[in-house]
């Protein structure tokens, strides 16, 4: 049961990154592609109906982590308390900027909302990448399973690293580049006209930045956390994730050249899923890796709740997953297709 719940949490977080990731990507590209008010309106309409629903996966993943691995939940939330508060503020600023932008018909107000939307989106992409970098590098867990990490120390990975060091910042920047590419692919799938042409052009430039940053993170990861390799040595089947990710990336490049926009977006989603799956495979059975002593690491065994809780939770988990998936499919099906470039038509799409 512990393995089932580990897989469930990892998969839900990966799905969240794919779905909310294109929202972050659109926000990151917002000031560069939204040259006119009409363009900015279309970009808002592209993600406006779905961005709230995408965040359901993050909430659900947190709830499942609390249910199945309460000790890891407690340790992570207390150790990364400052970072989590920053994330919450960024979410609030981003949501307010999107929802309140059209409430005041003044250029200065719209510019403030646009700058907030861009800054919060880019910051969230970086912060979530930094969080992933901390999980890869490990945290200074004590014998009680708790830790404290300063926001930064000397930007080195040892002996007393902060949340921000050269490796976690590298992962954060790579996350921003990959999600920006993901957002550009999403906009190419959803827009028309000049905005579509700019999205396609930006995606072709970003793909090389995303590829380069992914390679650098992989090299850094091999140096920072060699403990990820044994699972691949013992169970070579896991190579399906990194190999599949590389194939998805290559196929995405080919599809972009052929202007197969929907397929390119799907393959960029598969690339993200495969890369996160690679990390989950290498980290298993660890949830939080200890940099102090390997025995202090929180695993699926010592962080899990009792057997009854895991079994009882599985029944409700199945029901919850069906509801979430049905909701997501209905939502994206309703707003499938290109966003009308005309402001009136776009507003009508949302109202329907």
pLDDT tens figures, 284-297: 999 999 988 889 99
Compute the distance between CA of residue 218 and CA of residue 241 in angstroms, rounded to an integer. 13
**Which residues lie closer than 8 Å to 216 by C-beta, 6 or more apart?**
170, 174
Please, where are the H alpha helices in 138-192? Answer: 166-190
Give Cα separations from 252 to 3, 46, 260, 262 (angstroms): 32, 21, 9, 10
Give the model confidence (pLDDT) of 138-193 as tens digits: 999 999 889 988 888 888 887 788 899 999 999 999 999 999 999 999 999 999 99
Short-list 133, 130, 158, 160, CA closest to 147 = 160
Kindly state the percentage of the chain with pLDDT values over 70. Answer: 97
pLDDT band per the 50, 70, 90 thresholds, residue 346: very low
Higher pLDDT, 2 or 345: 2
Residue 158: predicted pLDDT? 79
pLDDT band per the 50, 70, 90 thresholds, residue 342: low
Q: Is the pLDDT reported for residue 6 higher than 90? A: yes
Tell me what the mean pLDDT of segment 51-60 comes to.
90
Q: Is the pLDDT reported for residue 217 higher than 60? A: yes
Give the lowest-confidence range in 43-47, 63-67, 197-201, 348-352.
Answer: 348-352
Q: Is the pLDDT reported for residue 344 higher than 60? A: no
Residue 227: predicted pLDDT? 87
**Which residues lie closer than 8 Å to 300 by C-beta, 6 or more apart?**
2, 3, 5, 6, 69, 284, 285, 287
Residue 351: predicted pLDDT? 40
- Look over the chain and give the mean of its residue pLDDT values, rounded to a whole number: 91
Give the model confidence (pLDDT) of 240-286 as tens digits: 999 999 999 999 999 999 999 999 999 999 999 999 999 999 999 99
Residue 102: predicted pLDDT? 86
Residue 267: predicted pLDDT? 96
What pTM, to 2 d.p., does this model score? 0.92
Short-list 346, 19, 4, CA closest to 191 = 346
Compute the distance between CA of residue 236 and CA of residue 193 in angstroms, rounded to an integer. 46
224 Rama sector, left if φ>0, alpha if ψ -120 to 50, beta otherwise: alpha
């Amino acid at each position: 049961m512990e393995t089932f719940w580990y897989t469930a949490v990892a998969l839900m977080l990966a799905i969240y990154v794919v779905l909310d990731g294109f929202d972050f990507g659109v926000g990151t590209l917002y000031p560069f592609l939204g040259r006119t008010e009409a363009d900015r309106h279309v970009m808002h309409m592209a993600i406006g109906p779905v961005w709230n629903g995408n965040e359901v996966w993050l909430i659900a993943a947190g709830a499942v982590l609390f249910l199945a691995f309460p000790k890891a939940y407690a340790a992570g939330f207390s150790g990364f308390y400052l970072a989590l508060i920053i994330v919450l503020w960024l979410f609030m600023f981003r949501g307010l900027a999107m929802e309140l932008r059209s409430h005041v018909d003044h250029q200065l107000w719209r510019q403030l909302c646009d700058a907030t939307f861009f800054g919060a989106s880019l910051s969230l992409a970086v912060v979530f990448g930094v969080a992933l970098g901390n999980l890869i590098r490990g945290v200074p867990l004590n014998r009680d399973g708790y830790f404290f990490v300063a926001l930064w120390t000397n930007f080195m990975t040892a002996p007393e690293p902060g949340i921000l060091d050269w490796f976690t910042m590298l992962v954060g920047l790579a996350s921003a580049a990959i999600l920006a590419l993901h957002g550009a692919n999403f906009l190419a799938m959803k827009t028309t006209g000049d905005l579509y042409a700019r999205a396609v052009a930006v995606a072709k430039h970003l793909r090389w930045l995303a590829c380069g940053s992914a390679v650098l993170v992989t090299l850094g990861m091999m140096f920072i956390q060699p403990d990820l390799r044994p699972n691949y040595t013992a169970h070579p089947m896991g190579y399906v994730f990194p190999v599949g990710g590389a194939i998805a990336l290559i196929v995405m490049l080919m599809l972009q050249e052929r202007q197969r926009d929907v397929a390119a977006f799907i393959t960029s989603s598969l690339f993200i899923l495969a890369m996160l799956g690679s990390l989950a495979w290498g980290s298993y059975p660890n949830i939080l890796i200890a940099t102090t002593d390997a025995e202090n690491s929180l695993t699926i065994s010592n962080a899990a709740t009792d057997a009854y809780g895991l079994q009882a939770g599985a029944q409700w988990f199945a029901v919850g997953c069906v509801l979430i998936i049905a909701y997501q499919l209905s939502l994206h099906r309703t707003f499938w297709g290109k966003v009308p470039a005309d402001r009136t038509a776009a507003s009508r799409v949302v109202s329907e």
